[in-house]
Amino acid sequence: MKKSELVQQILGSHFGKVPENHRTAEAFAPSNIALCKYWGKRDTDLNLPLTSSLSVALPAFGSHILLSVNSDKKDEIILNDSPVQSDTQFYRRFIDYINLFRPKLSWYFKAVIHSTVPVSAGLASSASGFASLVLALNQLFEWQFDRRQLSVLARLGSGSACRSLWDGFVEWQAGVRADGMDSHGVPLEQIWPDLCLGLLIFSVDAKPISSREAMQRTVQTSRLYRDWPAQVSSDMEKIKKAIREKNFLLLGESAEANAIAMHATMADAIPGISYALPETKTSIQKIRQMRDEGISVYFTQDAGPNLKLIFLRQDMPDISRCFPGLQVVQLFSAGTF
Ligand code: DP6
């Protein structure tokens, strides 16, 4: 099934409708960081994953969007106060997504986006971007879909976006259906107020290879990838248990092992892929050394050189001292420290 057919099926009688003139919608969605990664698709058009994944939202970082019908009869995207040029990948992906809900060019839009996430820095800007866009479209068209339906729609923009419809911990259940209607986010009820995440940013430059392309190359060429589904089911079980029992060591060890395994599958792809900068490697050594000295800190890494440190509030002073540039995010109440 193609993306456009699925959208038609989900929208039903809403499909092809034009939003009312002068309507404006406003939405915010948080970024999310996977503790158990999504890496590999069983359907590249519908962004259906080969395995389930689990993330935690970063409430202070995300995308805010004001979406309106543009009476100027042109599409306009303003990102962080600058117009987005039509020859950029950002513009293309955005328009392609809107066009799923605009089978004929019968109306134009203006989107004013404020992202507090560095675009393309492996900090999941596309996740909060597509999640906020789908929330805004839901208002603009008055679909009144629930979060799970919106999660399915957000997934069509970017897989990890389906986890950005909720705060807190969210599991993306891989599902088995060919149309992917059972492949969406499901929020976990547990909260963990003492859990902290620190952003260690070494570069906000665009990545040398997109996560989309890297994921595909890994699935097609990496021999190590054969072990990935088994690794994920074991890590997923441990991470859910750790969250239920607030067992920090189990959480840190399992999340870190999962990220290391994901990067190992990429390194084994042909040609091999590495997102690490020298700073990434030295910081990983430092984290290990800190653990040897009794400080409980772990890391995870996505498709970029930056690291996300995982630790408990009680260890924040020690960790901030070792990493002076660290931006610490409160996961379960808005704001940064
Ligand atoms: C490494 O969701 O950006 O961050 O579905 O192709 O848009 P597409 O990929 P995307 O991949 C995210 C990969 C990851 C791991 C994760 O967030 O689970």
Domains of the chain by residue range:
3-187, 195-336
CB 126 near ligand 1, within 6 Å: yes
The whole-number pLDDT of residue 168 equals 97
Phi, psi of 246 (to 5 degrees): 50, 50
Q: What is the pLDDT of residues 282-313, one digit of tens each?
A: 999 999 999 999 999 999 999 999 999 999 99
Nearest to 67 by CA among 100, 19, 118: 19
Q: Which atom of ligand 1 is nearest to the CA of 210?
A: 3
Q: What CA–CA distance (Å, rounded) separates 266 from 16?
A: 41
The whole-number pLDDT of residue 120 equals 45
State in Å: Cα 305 to ligand 1 middle: 15
Is 129 exposed, middle or buried, given 0-12, 13-18 or 19+ CB atoms closer than 10 A?
buried
Judged against a pLDDT cut of 80, whether residue 102 lies above it is answered with yes
Tokens at residue 114, please? 């404020």
Q: What CA–CA distance (Å, rounded) separates 99 from 15?
A: 12
Q: Which atom of ligand 1 is nearest to the CA of 37?
A: 18
Q: What CA–CA distance (Å, rounded) separates 84 from 70?
A: 16
CATH (one of 3.20.20.70, 3.90.110.10, 3.30.70.890, 3.40.50.880) for 195-336: 3.30.70.890
Q: Which atom of ligand 1 is nearest to the CA of 161?
A: 2
Confidence of residue 141 (pLDDT cuts 50, 70, 90): very high
Model pTM? Answer: 0.96
Least confident residue range of 63-67, 70-74, 181-185, 297-301: 70-74
CB 212 near ligand 1, within 6 Å: yes
CB 265 near ligand 1, within 6 Å: no
**Helix, strand, coil % over all residues of the chain, rounded to 5:** 40, 25, 35
Confidence of residue 121 (pLDDT cuts 50, 70, 90): very low
Strand order in the sheet with 298-301: 298-301, 307-312, 195-200, 327-330
Amino acid type, 261: A
Q: Which atom of ligand 1 is nearest to the CA of 47?
A: 5
Contact 197, 307 (CB under 8 A): no
3-187 under CATH 3.30.230.10, yes or no? yes
State in Å: Cα 294 to ligand 1 middle: 33
